[in-house]
Amino acid sequence: MMNLRTAKILIIEDNETLLENLEYLLRAEKYEVTSLMSGAAGLKLVESNVYDLVVSDFRLPDVTGDVILKRIRAISPYTATILITAYGNVDHAVELLRHGIDDYITKPFELKDLAYRIERLLEQQKLRRRVDTLQKQLQHVNVAGSIIGQSHLMQQVLRQVAMVASTDVPVIVEGESGVGKELVARAIHFSSARRQHPFLPVNCGALPDSLLESELFGHVRGAFTGADRHAIGLIEAASGGTLFLDEVTELTLSTQVKLLRTLQENEIRRVGSTHPQKIDVRFIAATNQNIEDRVASGDFREDLYYRLNVVKIIVPPLQDRPEDIPPLALHFLQKYSQKFNKAVRDFSPAAMQALIRHEWRGNVRELENVIQKALLVTQTSTIQRVDLDLPHSQNDRKPAGFLPYQQAKAEFERDYLIRALQESNGNAREAARRSGMHWKNFWQKLQKHHIQLQTS
């Protein structure tokens, strides 16, 4: 959220004396103030800039204030609005309140009264943004902050989490796809002083470059085709909290430059805007690649690497810590038996032995998937070896039968896409390249088959 005392305010008032007095008052309160006497000029300015609050007189020589404030409401819903009106226009002002104008004040008025209203609206705006971002956060939080691991390797990870949670430094979390890098990032956030603020994840490899920059930094109206309103990006939305950059090595060099500046200056510029916005965000990045190799090859900026790599946490693959498999398996069994409303409480010795011996190339994510499938097919209160969808249990399956051509084709295409993603460690852009498909075509097929891209 913005600091109330650095909020950007636009004043549109054709009475020069009143305009100067308002500007003097608000600048004395340390607000960033832009003042205009023309409604048309004000309209032009709000089309290309983002303001926290706009104050406009109703009677202007060229455009009425209600037209300006309605336009602001349409393109920038977080901008607070105050209409200055004469006594005879009160009924009209009340009507405007029903259509989204935040407040009005009648002439003559005390400047301190207007200053109070401005501060109150900015505080309300801050709270509204806070509620919106926390609601988004609730969609992601499940077992945040709860890492299951008895092995000495995971105990070492937990010690590092506790160490960095008490600081505010950037962190890189490294590990194979599916080991739980996002869970580590969540544990850091929810153990830190930022826990009451948003934790927002973004998969840097899941979106085309043109969309990713807007997703991170936001944009102003008219920044590109289809940008019909101002939008805040994830960096702004995570204000006070943590932004988790998964697959950070997939950022293009141009986006890396913008991110580096953000880390250096603690500010961002929305796409299409020339005005910087101060931010207060902790950055945690993750990768399933050797980031030093990407730096050496020139694909990742060395200066950005050093900015992010204040602390590195390496999450070990599941096959290196087999003692963690039983507690993880029991955790997923409990979780999904409740979700599927099935009274399944344990694994047979043979089933647990098979889980421990499996290689788990997909790590914890693969283990979770196998437990889900086993719960769906089991007919007993204990998961049996035959219930596990593991390689040498293939002979236990019955033939699928002959399928209609279109169904067989659809199943093949879906399986092919999933395999392509698995072979590319979940990197959709790399999967498209390896399959010989155009990125847009590959993306459309993922949507067609409802295949969700996952963060670590």
pLDDT tens-digit readout, 424-455: 887 888 888 888 888 888 888 887 776 766 54
How much is the pLDDT for 157? 92
How much is the pLDDT for 132? 64
How much is the pLDDT for 143? 38
Indicate if 30 and 122 belong to the same structural domain: yes
- Domain end position, chosen among 107, 137, 167: 137
- Domain end position, chosen among 137, 165, 188: 137
Question: Are residues 12 and 55 in contact, defined by beta-carbon separation less than 8 angstroms?
Answer: yes
Please give the average per-residue pLDDT across 246-254, as a whole number.
Answer: 94
Cα–Cα dist 445/434, whole Å: 15
Indicate if 117 and 252 belong to the same structural domain: no
Indicate if 10 and 120 belong to the same structural domain: yes
Cα–Cα dist 88/95, whole Å: 13
Q: Is residue 325 part of a domain?
A: yes
Please give the average per-residue pLDDT across 132-155, as a whole number.
Answer: 63
Question: Are residues 367 and 328 in contact, defined by beta-carbon separation less than 8 angstroms?
Answer: yes
CATH of the domain at 215: 3.40.50.300
Q: Spell out the alpha helix ranges (H) of 139-224.
A: 152-165, 181-190, 209-217
Q: Is residue 455 part of a domain?
A: no
Contacts of 382 (CB under 8 A, 6+ apart): 344, 345, 346, 347, 348, 351
Q: What percent of the chain has pLDDT over 70?
A: 88
Range of the domain at 276: 152-316
CATH of the domain at 80: 3.40.50.2300
Indicate if 269 and 233 belong to the same structural domain: yes
Paired tokens of 302: 């060395």
Give the torsion through C-alpha atoms of 6, 12, 15, 19, to 10 deg: 10
Instruction: Work out the angle between the directed axes of helices 152-165 and 181-190 (0-180°, nearest 10).
Output: 40
Please give the average per-residue pLDDT across 35-44, as a whole number.
Answer: 90
pLDDT tens column, 46-97: 888 888 999 999 888 888 888 888 888 788 877 889 988 876 666 766 777 7
Please give the average per-residue pLDDT across 292-300, as a whole number.
Answer: 94
Domains in the chain, number: 4
Q: Is residue 453 part of a domain?
A: no
Indicate if 169 and 303 belong to the same structural domain: yes
How much is the pLDDT for 88? 60
How much is the pLDDT for 370? 96
CATH of the domain at 379: 1.10.8.60
Indicate if 291 and 411 belong to the same structural domain: no
Q: What percent of the chain has pLDDT over 90?
A: 38
pTM given for the model: 0.60
How much is the pLDDT for 205? 87
Strand 267-268, strand 277-278: pairing: antiparallel
pLDDT tens column, 384-417: 888 998 875 433 333 445 567 776 777 788 778 8
